[in-house]
């Protein structure tokens, strides 16, 4: 799986319940705009954790709407508990293309314990498993542990949650199996990491500008370093503006303004008028019509 994987928002109704019809609209929109894959059921754009029934229905609707036109990745969350195993089984039943598991940075948990948790989950899952970790957390996996992770049967890739170029160099220097993919985990550093050799990125910004980010990826893959960097610099203000609110409200607001999702009775609102101004300027600078 190559390119820009969209960390898809979970559209909701005013009462916080998932809006499945709008999810289907977004799946079609991303197919039309050439997104590489969609991660469904993550915490992006949703203020509270989804229960297993809601996550199941989100995944079922996304896979049904995608109709094999775009890969759907099921987010398993960040704990190797019974629910992660249960949802991995559900994802297999409905035909998810892959699974994503975030290795929890639990205090006192050793590298070996984290790897063993992942090994157990990968052994139970019937779909390729991508693991995500943030090296900036003191209890997370270390870059050198990724070499051991890559040897676990069923693990197909790793999402680097750091923004450190030195870490990227260390990961790329590892003797990883052929077919094991490294993905960037932050929009702000994804271009540099893809140019260095990452297979793609897991992107929040691709919720609003998938076509541009696919172009950036294509430029990088074609060896057009100057073109890729120029486009990335053009988009940096948008990356920052979309992350100004911790609940990803800017993402939903932008999609409403773009006409991609309905406004609803209670449209998303940002804390200050200046936030709207910053986001509007960033969207226009990125040539995204609102």
CATH at residue 124 = 3.20.20.70
Quote the pTM value.
0.93
Identify the residue with better confidence: 134 or 81: 134
Instruction: Please indicate, yes or no, if residue 21 is contained in any of the structural domains.
Output: yes
For position 227, what pLDDT does the model report?
A: 97
Instruction: Please indicate, yes or no, if residue 276 is contained in any of the structural domains.
Output: no
Instruction: Please indicate, yes or no, if residue 212 is contained in any of the structural domains.
Output: yes
Instruction: Please indicate, yes or no, if residue 286 is contained in any of the structural domains.
Output: no
Give the residues across from 159 on adjacent strands.
132, 183
Per the structure, the count of domains in the chain is 1
For position 98, what pLDDT does the model report?
A: 97
| SS (HEC) of the chain | CCEEEEECCCCECCCCCECHHHHHHHHHHHHHCCCCEEEECCCCCCCCCCCHHHHHHHHHHHHHHHCCCCCEEEECCCCCCHHHHHHHHHHHHHCCCEEEEECCCCCCCCHHHHHHHHHHHHHHCCCCEEEEECCCCCCCCCCCHHHHHHCCCCEEEEEECCCCHHHHHHHHCCCCCCCCEEEECCHHHHHHHHHHCCCEEEECHHHCCHHHHHHHHHHHHCCCHHHHHHHHHHHHHHHHHHCCCCCCHHHHHHHHHCCCCCCCCCCCCCCCHHHHHHHHHHHHHCCCCC
Instruction: Please indicate, yes or no, if residue 278 is contained in any of the structural domains.
Output: no
For position 3, what pLDDT does the model report?
A: 94
Instruction: Give CA–CA dist 36/105, Å, rounded.
Output: 28
Structure confidence by residue, pLDDT tens digits, 271-287: 777 778 889 999 999 99
Mean pLDDT of 138-160: 88
Percent of the chain with pLDDT over 70: 91
For position 52, what pLDDT does the model report?
A: 86
Instruction: Please indicate, yes or no, if residue 267 is contained in any of the structural domains.
Output: no
Instruction: Please indicate, yes or no, if residue 246 is contained in any of the structural domains.
Output: no
Whole-number average pLDDT of the chain: 88
Give the torsion sign (CA, 64, 50, 29, 72).
negative
For position 158, what pLDDT does the model report?
A: 96
Instruction: Give CA–CA dist 57/43, Å, rounded.
Output: 15
Is the pLDDT at 80 greater than 70, yes or no?
no
Instruction: Please indicate, yes or no, if residue 259 is contained in any of the structural domains.
Output: no
pLDDT band at 270 (very low <50, low <70, confident <90, very high): confident
The least confident of 101-115, 240-254, 255-269 is 101-115
Instruction: Give CA–CA dist 14/87, Å, rounded.
Output: 26
Q: What domain range is 115 assigned to?
A: 3-222
């Amino acid at each position: 799986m190559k390119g820009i994987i969209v960390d898809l928002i979970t559209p909701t109704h005013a009462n916080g319940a998932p809006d499945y019809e709008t999810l289907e609209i977004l799946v079609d929109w991303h197919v039309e705009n050439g997104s590489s894959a969609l991660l469904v059921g993550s915490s992006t754009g949703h203020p509270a954790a989804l229960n297993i029934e809601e996550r199941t229905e989100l995944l079922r609707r996304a896979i049904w709407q995608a109709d094999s036109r775009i890969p759907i990745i099921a987010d398993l969350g960040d704990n190797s508990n019974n629910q992660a195993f249960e949802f991995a089984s559900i994802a297999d039943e409905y035909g998810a293309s892959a699974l994503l598991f975030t290795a929890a940075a639990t205090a006192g948990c050793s590298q070996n314990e984290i790897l063993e948790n992942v090994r157990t989950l990968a052994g139970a899952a019937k779909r390729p498993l991508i693991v995500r970790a943030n090296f900036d957390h003191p209890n997370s996996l270390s870059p050198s542990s990724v070499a051991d992770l890559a040897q676990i049967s069923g693990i197909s890739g790793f999402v680097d949650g750091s923004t450190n170029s030195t870490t990227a160099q260390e990961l790329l220097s590892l003797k990883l199996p052929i077919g094991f993919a490294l993905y960037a985990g932050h929009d702000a550093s994804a271009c540099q990491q893809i140019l260095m050799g990452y297979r793609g990125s897991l992107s929040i910004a691709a919720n609003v500008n998938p076509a541009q980010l696919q172009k950036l990826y294509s430029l990088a893959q074609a060896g057009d370093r100057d073109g890729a960097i120029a486009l990335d610099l053009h988009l940096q203000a948008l990356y920052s503006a979309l992350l100004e609110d911790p609940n990803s409200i800017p993402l939903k607001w932008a999609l409403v303004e773009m006409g991609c999702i309905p406004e609803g009775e209670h449209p998303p609102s940002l804390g200050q008028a200046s936030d709207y101004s910053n986001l509007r300027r960033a969207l226009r600078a990125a040539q995204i019509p609102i």
